[in-house]
Amino acid sequence: MLSRAKKLLLLAIVTILQHRRLIRQGRRPRRWWRRPSHQRREELGEFAGLIPHLRDRDSEMYFKYMRMRPARFEHLLSLVATKLSRPCARREAVPAEEKLMMTLCYLASGCSQADLSFRFGRGRSTVSGVVFETAIAIYDKLASTYLQFPASAEEWKAIAGGFWEKWHFPNCLGAIDGKHFKVHCPRNTGSQYFNYKQQFSSLVLAMCDSNYIFTYIESGSAGRE
């Protein structure tokens, strides 16, 4: 049987070897399993503290914070929970409810992912993965229901009729607009993503009917277009 001192020495040797292997691979070794600033997220993080308080005691501020009522949030959670709930082998998995809250805060407020990391007590890379994963889940579940491109002449005529009755625009099939989102220049693309504002960007274009309901969205085009 190994003594306690020998076990500690063996663990130290293994740690040193792992450290050297990570350095050879160009990766910085992990300094801690959970950052000190995140160790009390169950008490101080917004998921466990502020948001439940707003939900139970101040629905008006909850709506301003989340951009939806608690009942709407629960409905959306019921749609995407299956896609967002998955076990994590090495550590406690982020709950589906927290993933959705983080993503909605990110989309609604325009804050940075670093800001979300502080507010929810999660690592920066964890927040980035959660936002990406949840956005895909929302699109997969809602796109077919809430983003339907007109499929017949009658549907196009109905849209044109709505613009005429509500806004007095004749023969209008949609209100269309686009936006440039700044990006780092993708590799091997030259000036393809360089736009007239003298910056690299990716384009999002959207069209809606007279009731502000989206009928078409196109994203990912090169900025110079």
3-state SS assignment for residue 49: coil
Which residue, chain included where needed, has tokens 């007590």?
121
pLDDT(8) > 60: no
Instruction: Please name which of 205, 199, 207, 203 lies closest in space to residue 220, comparing C-alpha atoms.
Output: 203
For residue 177, the model assigns a pLDDT of 93
Instruction: Please name which of 180, 49, 75 lies closest in space to residue 138, comparing C-alpha atoms.
Output: 75
Domain boundaries, the chain: 38-145, 148-222
168: left (phi over 0), alpha (psi -120 to 50) or beta: left
**Which residue(s) pair with 222 in the sheet?**
202
Tell me the per-residue pLDDT of 82-137, one tens digit each, with 9 for 90 and over: 888 876 655 677 888 888 888 888 888 778 888 887 777 777 788 888 888 888 88
User: Percent of the chain, pLDDT > 70?
Assistant: 76
- Please give the span between the terminal C-alpha atoms of the chain, in angstroms, as a whole number: 71
CA 189 – CA 2 distance, rounded (Å): 59
CA 168 – CA 164 distance, rounded (Å): 4
For residue 122, the model assigns a pLDDT of 79
Identify the weakest region by mean pLDDT among 24-38, 148-162, 180-194: 24-38
